[in-house]
Amino acid sequence: MSSIPEHLKQVNQRIREAAEAWGRDCDDIQLLAVSKTRTADEIAEALKAGQHLFGESYLQEALEKITALRGANAQWHYIGRVQSNKTRAIAENFDWVHSVDKAKQARRLNEQRPQNMPPLNVCLQIKVDEEESKGGLTAKEAEALIEEFSGFTRLRLRGLMTLPAPAEDFEGQRRPFCELRRLRDRLATDEIPLETLSMGMSADIEAAIAEGATIVRAGTAIFGPRNPVISRN
Ligand SMILES: *Cc1c(COP(=O)(O)O)cnc(C)c1O
């Protein structure tokens, strides 16, 4: 028997316990099952066990799975790098994008989101540590880009996302999440409350919840060690 339903139960239990420990309402925290490199059958199993939000990083394999599972009650979140040649497929196939970190890509997504679909939900990816290899906006860049969103009628800016370097200890895990929350508090307005904080992965869900995560993104905790990438584009 597959362990996916069992693992989902365990992760949801972790979320409930962390919410309780930190005085949060667990209904304010959603689990995004990161299904990159997993098959459509594995996703179907998770769906059957009650999981509905799925995160994908590699566009080509994602599109195949979205097509295969059309009609299932799945919500698709793109969490990979957003290159210009991918914006159209993202705009046409996903419900959310967590990883927008360039104004140009935001403009393209806005232009390319089909009129017959609801606005595309967007989080801005923020670089909270000094890891040069990773994408993400600085606080200053994020502030400037948020101002442009009033002109993006096909996008709905929901909040901020971060993908910090792994840290071993709880306090080290909390630090970047704390920074993201503070940035959100500083940039939020009545018009754009930035209510979403997409932060925390399998190893640091609890630290993210302690700092206010509203979407935690877990892959290996649900599906086990990652398969080799099916197609990385
Ligand atoms: C792969 C990935 C995750 C999930 O990581 P796990 O350690 O498997 O939980 C979360 N967020 C992003 C952006 C990812 O690329």
In the chain, how many domains are there? Answer: 1
Query: How remote is the CA of residue 151 from the centroid of ligand 1, in Å?
Result: 31
- Neighbour-count burial for 166-177, b at 16+ CB within 10 Å, e otherwise: ebeeeeebbebb
What percentage of the chain has pLDDT greater than the value 90? 92
Instruction: Domain of residue 55: give its range.
Output: 4-223
Q: Does residue 151 sit within a domain?
A: yes
Query: How remote is the CA of residue 218 from the centroid of ligand 1, in Å?
Result: 6
Residue 164: pLDDT over 60? yes
Q: Does residue 232 sit within a domain?
A: no
Question: What pLDDT score was predicted for residue 229?
Answer: 62
CATH number of the CATH domain containing 42: 3.20.20.10
Query: In 3-state terms, the chain is what percent helix, strand and coil (to 5)?
Result: 45, 20, 40
Q: Does residue 55 sit within a domain?
A: yes
Taking all residues of the chain, what is their mean pLDDT, rounded to a whole number?
Answer: 95
Of 7, 11, 34, the one to substitute when testing ligand 1's pocket (max ligand atoms within 8 A of C-beta) is: 34
Q: What is the pTM of this model?
A: 0.96
Query: Within 10 A of 214 (CB to CB), how many other CB atoms are there?
Result: 17
Query: How remote is the CA of residue 146 from the centroid of ligand 1, in Å?
Result: 25
Write out residues with Cβ below 6 Å of ligand 1: 34, 36, 57, 79, 163, 201-203, 217-221
For residue 202, the ligand 1 atom closest to its alpha carbon is 9
Query: How remote is the CA of residue 13 from the centroid of ligand 1, in Å?
Result: 19
Question: What pLDDT score was predicted for residue 135?
Answer: 86
Q: Does residue 228 sit within a domain?
A: no
Query: How remote is the CA of residue 212 from the centroid of ligand 1, in Å?
Result: 18
Question: What pLDDT score was predicted for residue 134?
Answer: 73
Q: Does residue 85 sit within a domain?
A: yes
Q: Does residue 230 sit within a domain?
A: no
Q: Does residue 154 sit within a domain?
A: yes
Q: Does residue 208 sit within a domain?
A: yes
Residues with Cβ within 8 Å of 140's Cβ and at least 6 positions away in sequence, in order, are none
The predicted-structure confidence for 41-91, as pLDDT tens digits, reads as follows 999 999 999 999 999 999 999 999 999 999 999 999 999 999 999 999 999
